[in-house]
Amino acid sequence: MVLKALTANHAVAEAAKLARVKVVSAYPITPQTTIVEKLAEMIEKGEMEAKMVRVESEHSALAATLGAAAAGARAFTATSSHGLLYMHEVLWWTSGARVPVVMAVVTRAIGPPWNIHVEHSDVMDQRDTGWIIGVAQENQEAFDLTLQAFRISEDPRVYLPMIVSLDAFILSHTVAPVDVPSQQEVDAWLPSRRQPYVISPETNVVMGNIADDADYYMMRYSINAAMEAAKKVVEEVDEEYGKAFGRRYGGLVECYNCDDADYIMVLMGSWAGDAKKASDLLREKGYRVGVMRVRFVRPWPREVVQEKLSNRKGVIVFDRSISFGSAGQLFTDVAASLYGSTSIRGVVAGLGGVDVRPEDFMNEVTDFVSHVEEFGRVYEPLRWHLPPKYAKSLAEEVSA
Amino acid sequence: MSGTAAVVEKPKTYWVAPISYPAPASSGKTGLWRTERPVIHLEKCVKCLYCWLYCPEDTILRREDDYVYVDYDYCKGCGICAAVCPTNAIDMVPEGGES
């Protein structure tokens, strides 16, 4: 075991290098991350045998990545916030092409007003594009998930692109020990790239030509079938990764303190660490509370959510993003999966990187518990966990 | 060996490929889209082959003696051949009238 002190950005770059990525394409200025900066450095120093394609926008960055991948290269890119939104059209092109691609997304708030801190709005905006979306809690997991992403994306049951999502600053710029396996170990674990077709002058293949309406429909059907198949592949890859490198995360979701829990917090990303701490502290006070950390937003782990959450006294979902006019996006998926079988509350918190501490989770959970105990079955899609600076003034305004 | 050339393997789930192969008439006889047709007056033609070179649809056909003629099944009537012809040997004639 070799432990290196790495930011999550550099950990992801190490993983891309060990996966023997052959083409990296990126637009080099903000909101680009140090992932691509590190990869450029590795390529320049000759530590990594790959081509860096510098383009004029994120839209082109993903398009060039798709082109390289369609031509048969293991290709990679990374972006964040506005860069990801600018790529949005090409996300559809990539999944529609059924070409395996891996992209790291450092999740950041979207302007205006300008804010570069952690929020999940950028990645949640891509839920419907046909990309698999995996979310890391820690630097080590960002590394592991990146390696796993190549195996998941290039599995012939899947053949869909995958986003590895990691929280801005809390992970991306924070140094933590990361166990980095050797090149030989990674080569033994990660097979050669597989893909459904290769575009080259010899193969004469055209991708994306006009299609009959019914053919188009069935291509959408087949993307969804691949998403469903990906659920099993994710679990398998998690298990095989565990055998090879000693770390398993639980597949589509990670459950913490769940077995005997009356109430379960559901959330994703780095703040799951604070929620786990809150769960421990609440147990000391006699509340049996667990945490379900969503590791994959897509494919949505409907079956696991139903199995693990249906028979609880209540489920409280924390979203670090909101679908304006509806509720938090995780909430809507959890609520749809549970179809009224238990009490549920959605909390939107931590937007724009507002700090959410274990005490905040504890206060939200105890408030929810008392609410459920008082009223019985509860369905509350949207509760705002306001920043401390505003919480008092708004409470006064509402009561006035 | 990881990361070398990709292996092409058919998907294992239900699959409709978003791919196609170039073939004539995959969109039908596109000559039907034409509103004006190019008519070549061979007596003015100097065999420069500009029209053959510039035609975006590859519908100016070249004979062995380097005179040219039009494949009206697929010519969409864009008029580029008439525009590039240095001797004005190509007229664009509205469709629907007499030949």
Q: Do A221 and B14 touch (CB under 8 A)?
A: yes
Query: Is A165 in contact with A136 (CB distance < 8 Å)?
Result: yes
**CB < 8 Å to B1, chain A:** 187, 192
- Lowest model confidence (mean pLDDT) among A141-150, A389-398, B14-23: A389-398
Query: Is A161 in contact with A133 (CB distance < 8 Å)?
Result: no
- Sorted by where each begins, the domain ranges of chain A are 3-245, 253-399
Checking if the pLDDT of B53 tops 80, the result is yes
Output the pLDDT for position A395.
65
**CB < 8 Å to B27, chain A:** 210
Query: Is A166 in contact with A105 (CB distance < 8 Å)?
Result: yes
* Residue among A298, A304, A321, A10 at smallest CA distance from A146: A10
What CATH number labels A253-399? 3.40.50.920
Q: Which residues of B touch A (CB under 8 A)?
A: 1-22, 26-27
Burial A96-130 (b: 16+ CB within 10 A, else e): bbbbbbbbbbbbbbbeeeebbbbbbbbbbbbeebb
pTM: 0.89
Q: Do B2 and A19 touch (CB under 8 A)?
A: yes
Q: Do B7 and A194 touch (CB under 8 A)?
A: yes
**CB < 8 Å to B20, chain A:** 205-206, 209
What CATH number labels B30-94? 3.30.70.20
Distance from CA of A138 to the nearest CA of B (A): 26
Q: What would the pLDDT profile of A211-261 be if each residue is shown by its tens digit?
A: 889 999 999 999 999 999 999 999 999 999 999 999 999 999 999 999 999
Q: Do B18 and A97 touch (CB under 8 A)?
A: yes
Q: Domain A3-245 in CATH: superfamily? A: Thiamin diphosphate (ThDP)-binding fold, Pyr/PP domains (3.40.50.970)
Output the pLDDT for position B16.
83
* Residue among B8, B33, B83, B46 at smallest CA distance from A195: B8
In this structure, what token pair is assigned to residue B39?
């008519």
Residue B22 vs residue A140, higher pLDDT: A140
Q: What would the pLDDT profile of A174-215 be if each residue is shown by its tens digit?
A: 999 999 999 999 999 999 999 999 999 888 899 988 888 999
- Sorted by where each begins, the domain ranges of chain B are 30-94
Block residue for tokens 């019985």: A376
Say how far apart CA A101 and CA A98 lie, in whole Å.
Answer: 9
- Lowest model confidence (mean pLDDT) among A51-60, A201-210, A286-295, B38-47: A201-210
ipTM tops the 0.90 cut: no
Q: Do A221 and B3 touch (CB under 8 A)?
A: no
Block residue for tokens 């990309």: A131
- H-assigned helices in B1-99: 50-54, 80-84
Average pLDDT over chain A, rounded to an integer: 96
Say how far apart CA B2 and CA A139 lie, in whole Å.
Answer: 24
Residues 6 or more apart in contact with residue A69 via CB below 8 angstroms: A23, A75, A94, A99, A100, A101, A195
pLDDT tier, B99 (very low <50, low <70, confident <90, very high otherwise) = low
Domains A3-245 and A253-399 in one fold: yes
**CB < 8 Å to A21, chain B:** 3
Checking if the pLDDT of A286 tops 90, the result is yes
**CB < 8 Å to B22, chain A:** 204, 206
Checking if the pLDDT of B3 tops 50, the result is no
Checking if the pLDDT of A290 tops 90, the result is yes
pLDDT tier, A368 (very low <50, low <70, confident <90, very high otherwise) = very high
pLDDT tier, B1 (very low <50, low <70, confident <90, very high otherwise) = very low
Q: Do A194 and B2 touch (CB under 8 A)?
A: no
